[in-house]
Structures are given as structure tokens and as C-alpha cells.
Amino acid sequence: MTRNRGQLRNGRLSTTEDTVDTEVSVLKRLLPIVLCVLCVLCGGEPLVGAAGSQAPAEPQPPRTPRSVAPIDITGYWVSIVTEDWRWRMMTPAKGDYASVPINDEGRRVADTWNLSKDEAAGLACKPYGIGNIMRMPGRMHITWQDDRTLKAEFDAGTQTRLLHLEKPAAGSKPGEKTWQGYSAGEWQVAGQTIEVDRNGIPQAGGGGGGGGGRGRGRGRGAPPVGGSLFVTTSNFRDGYLRKNGVPYSANATITEYFDKVGPEPNGDVILLVRTVVEDSKYLQMPFITSTHFKLEKDGSKWNPSTCKIDPPLEPGK
């Protein structure tokens, strides 16, 4: 006769098989809860009931250079001339190229400059080209032409620059050289280094400089935390670094950094533009300038003018 081994519980005999069944039942009830907890701890969504209880995520608007801009540089800006007065506010005397690191060829060209010949040849805008337009006293108006292009207009010489914050289409060819050339820009955002896509737009995550190599940014969806605009310009004509014929060539490399500062204690907001001109044809070393602009409340003082240079100063007068 087989003896059923077990324990007497609550007036009945509890067998080993009963105990196993009870434990299995408890595990079945706890398993979904354990899985949910593990999923949440691992950063995922709960598996049980997720399909029925989770609302579909709303589509996010496309990221553009305008939407990810770390600083707002739009508005009317007036140049603040607190240095290089005699070279910026007036036309220096012929041969006055002090503080410009020109080489022998640059000196030869500057010494043969003739304002009347430039005007007769239709070259009156040479001092208003990309190498010197930021140094011209006057006003600058920056707006978004579209979500990927900034437009900078200057009342001095009635010049216009387009800052393209996306890469040109594959296979596109540069057009005719102009005074302002083709400017390609990209945001350098304060914070961690991140990758940028094929259009130069910062991407969340990653750690390189793809699509431009200089992208620095913030996590997706985070508010702007400050930064700069980096610009390189190409496809421009020969021009002058100063009104008196100090030259730069069409093969020069011109880079710029736009930084916004303020408001200052007096309420002023400043735009600082650092320009670096590298030109082995006419310069011994890079020519670096820092130009300041102050934000104005509106365009009531906007005063466009043609490319017109005053006669140079005469030494001793």
C-alpha cells in the first residue's frame, strides 16, 4: 500500500504536489509585474498593455538651421567705431597700410592705387567687398530669408550677403564671382560636441564633426544655450582691405565668427564679428579684425548709399 506523504493543514492533507501548484500559480501572477518593472528600469515601455494604453507620439517639426539657432542675430545693427578711426571713418592717405601684414607684392599694389581709375573702370565697390564690408561704418540689417539662409544687408554701398546654413546640392557649380561671394555658415552651439547632418544641422547624440566638423550642440528638444555662427566665404572678386587700395586677392581664405554679447548694464546688445583674412598673394600672415555692432530698436536710421569713397587724406593736411 502506497503511503501518501504530506502535511495536515487546516483539516486536510497537503501534499507536495499541492505545494508546487501553489508556487507556480504565484509565479504566474507575479511574472507580468516583474517584466514591467524590468522594462521601465531599462528605459523601455511596459510590455503588458502598452499597445492599447499608449497614445501615438506626435510628429515633430523638421529641424532646420533656423529652429536650432543658439543665438538670435537678426535685427538692425549699427557699427561702433572705437578703433582704427583713421582707416575706417576716412580714406587714408595712399601708402598708409600700417598694421596690415602685407608682403612686397601687396605693398606694390597699394602704392599704385588710383581712386579715379577705379571709378572710371566701374570698380568703386572694391572696398565694399567681403574683405572689408564689415569694417565699413554704417548699418547692417540681418533677417532670415528662409529657414536655411540668413540675409545681411548693408546700407554702406547697398551691399547684400547671403549666409547659407546648408551645404549646396551635389554637383552644383559656383556662379560668377561677386563682391560678397558665397558664404557658408554653421552654428557652433555651446555644450557637448555633436554631429551635424549633410545640411550642417546639429544632430542630437554623437561626438564628431560630421557635415562640417565644427558643430557643437545640445540635446534634441533642449532650449538654446548660446553659441556662435561660423562662416567661410569663397567665390569672391579681388577687393580692398581698406579704402585706400590695400589689396586682397580672389584666392584668399576669409572666415568669420559672429558672437552676440549682452545685454550690457546699460541695456546695449552687442554683435561681435571676428574676421580672418589669409592671402598668400598679398599678406605675410593672417589679417585679423574684430568689429562691433550695437542692436537698434528699428530701422528708422537706415540710410542706403552707393559705393562712393572720399578722396584720400593728403599727408600733412
pLDDT in tens, 57-69: 777 778 899 999 9
- Same domain flag for 38 and 110: no
> pLDDT value at position 204?
45
DSSP 8-state symbol, 239: E
- Same domain flag for 44 and 93: no
Considering the domain boundaries, does residue 70 fall inside one? Answer: no
* Count of domains observed in the chain: 2
Considering the domain boundaries, does residue 6 fall inside one? Answer: no
Mean pLDDT of 16-32: 56
Give all strands (DSSP E) within the chain, no chain letters. 6-9, 12-15, 75-80, 139-146, 149-154, 159-164, 182-189, 227-234, 239-240, 247-248, 253-261, 270-278, 287-296
- Same domain flag for 121 and 47: no
Q: Which of 5-9, 42-46, 109-113, 200-204 has maximum average pLDDT? A: 109-113
Is the pLDDT at 136 greater than 90? The verdict is: yes
Considering the domain boundaries, does residue 59 fall inside one? Answer: no
Torsion angle defined by CA atoms of residues 62, 197, 276 and 271, in that order, rounded to the nearest 10 degrees:
20
| Alpha carbons 285 and 270: distance in angstroms, whole number | 28
- Same domain flag for 155 and 272: yes
CB atoms inside a 10 Å sphere around CB 232: 17
Considering the domain boundaries, does residue 15 fall inside one? Answer: yes
- For residue 42, CA distances in Å to 28, 177, 220 come to 22, 56, 21
Q: Residue 90: which domain range?
A: 75-296
- Same domain flag for 48 and 107: no
